[in-house]
Structure 1
Amino acid sequence: MDLDPELKALDALGGFFVLRTGVPPRGPLPTLASACADPESGGSAEVYADPMTFRVRKVEQSIRAPEARVAASVAQQGLAARFWSIALGAAALCGELPDLDPELLCWDPDAGAPDDLWLREVRFRPVADLDAVVRAGLLVPLSAALRSRHRVSPALLWGNAGSALAGTVRQLDRWALAHGRPDVGERARALAGPLLAHPDLAGTLDPGTLRRRSCCLYYRVPGGGVCGDCCFERPPRPAPGRS
């Protein structure tokens, strides 16, 4: 299957894999580059004063997070899942990698989940550039932006990214099994191996079980519990004197 210029082939994989192109009906949106910029520099003033802070506050209110760092973690994991899904999905399904340059990739911080992403211009890079496109090109600046605004550890954020990558592979495996395309699942697993071996992601997951070795903090959300791949079997008890 070829990936057509408007990336429609990705729609078949599910909502996290969808990537729209052109200008959104509601008008221009901030790019990921501007969303990750230092708000003091004025680089994020395209649509919102600070898209990253806006998004975290929206998530915080939506899930009733007890503190901003919990919402920052949830927001980052949602974006990481979208980045990996689009890039790995296109590479595994079609053998092509859309260039998710943060200057071209636009994002609506006021949308629901999955995050609404639009690509201004469709161009392609070699599949071998997966790490450069997603980890280095998107996740590194996203992590830096969130850590500059919120008290959230790099280990937690990279744990989120590793978990999101493993989740993407599982989803592609399920799709491949359901649609008689074992080649798609095989390519996804083969491509994910070197990505998880990078020092930023190595050690974030147990190699045998793919359970993560950090926690995204979702258990602190009212009624949240622990995720299926959490390092905890049950929600930890809060420290004395801490809600």
Structure 2
Amino acid sequence: MDLDPSLTALHRLGGFFVLRTAVTAGRPLPTLAQAYGPRSPDVQGDVLTSRVRRVAGALRVPEARVAASVAQQGLAARLWSVALGSAALYGAVPDLAPPLLRWDPEGSSPDDLWRPGVRPLPGDAATLAELVLHDHLEPLAAALRSRHRLAPGLLRGNAASALAGAARELDAWGRRHGRTDVAARAASLTAELLAHPLLTGAGSPAGAAFRRRSCCLYYRVPGGGVCGDCCFARPPRSSPRAPSG
């Protein structure tokens, strides 16, 4: 079990899969552990609220809960991509503990993540579930729900959709580059992870396809629509309390 110290192979997969191993920002960056912490009375010091506001501004969406959903799914996609990509390519995954991962809440999409150094862990489904679901997505969901009116099913659907999306990218990359082993490994891990108690029932996988049972609310973004795996066939009529899982 070994990892390239710079995780170079992940760079070939695209921006969502990159994990920087050297902090290059010109200012101190918070860790994700800080982002998941209690809500700060100082809005300027609350990095999770800052991220939601940054996403809301970029999407020009007035509803904070919509921006919060999009922000959560974006970060989930980054975490799953790094973990699943590493496991599929290397057979190992870097330690992604929240106190080790630095993050720029004011950055653009995809979220930029830094981790000084690389400590390899086993690339099996149990390790990925512990690293991503338990260490990140559970506290992230709790932190967001303490700030915004978001249904648990919506956030669970976002987590499952992000995982399925990472798997589709790895499947496509593996087939394009004659690395069917990478595609097969990603598919096997994803099937195990979607059966995890924290994700089971979030959607219906069918090969590389996935249909979720909740809506991420993206249709409420100006100019938005339904996503490819949405439970809706077409955008529902906007209402103050549209179904969200």
TM-score where L is the length of structure 2: 0.92
Amino acid corresponding to residue 14 of structure 1 in structure 2 = G
- CA distance in structure 2 between the partners assigned to 1:57 and 1:41 by the alignment: 16
- Count of residues in Structure 1 that have an aligned counterpart in Structure 2: 238
- CA distance in structure 2 between the partners assigned to 1:41 and 1:219 by the alignment: 31
- Superposed, 1:1-243 pairs within 5 Å as 3-40=3-40, 49-128=45-124, 129-208=127-206, 210-239=210-239
Amino acid corresponding to residue 154 of structure 2 in structure 1 = L
Cα distance per residue 1:61-86 (max 9 Å; x no partner):
11111310000000000000000000
The Cα of 1:121 is off from its aligned counterpart by 3.2
Comparing 6-15 and 231-240, the one that deviates more? 231-240
List gaps (5 residues or longer) in structure 2: none
The Cα of 1:178 is off from its aligned counterpart by 0.6
- CA distance in structure 1 between the partners assigned to 2:61 and 2:25 by the alignment: 31
TM-score where L is the length of structure 1: 0.93
Q: Which runs of 4+ in 1 moved over 2 A?
A: 22-25, 39-42, 238-242
Asked whether the 8 Å contact 2:218–2:224 carries over to 1, the reply is yes
User: What percent of counterpart residues are identical?
Assistant: 61
Cα distance per residue 1:46-104 (max 9 Å; x no partner):
xx601100000111111111310000000000000000000000000111110001000
The Cα of 1:2 is off from its aligned counterpart by 5.8
Amino acid corresponding to residue 194 of structure 2 in structure 1 = L
Comparing 164-173 and 4-13, the one that deviates more? 4-13
- CA distance in structure 1 between the partners assigned to 2:81 and 2:222 by the alignment: 28
List gaps (5 residues or longer) in structure 1: none
The Cα of 1:206 is off from its aligned counterpart by 1.6
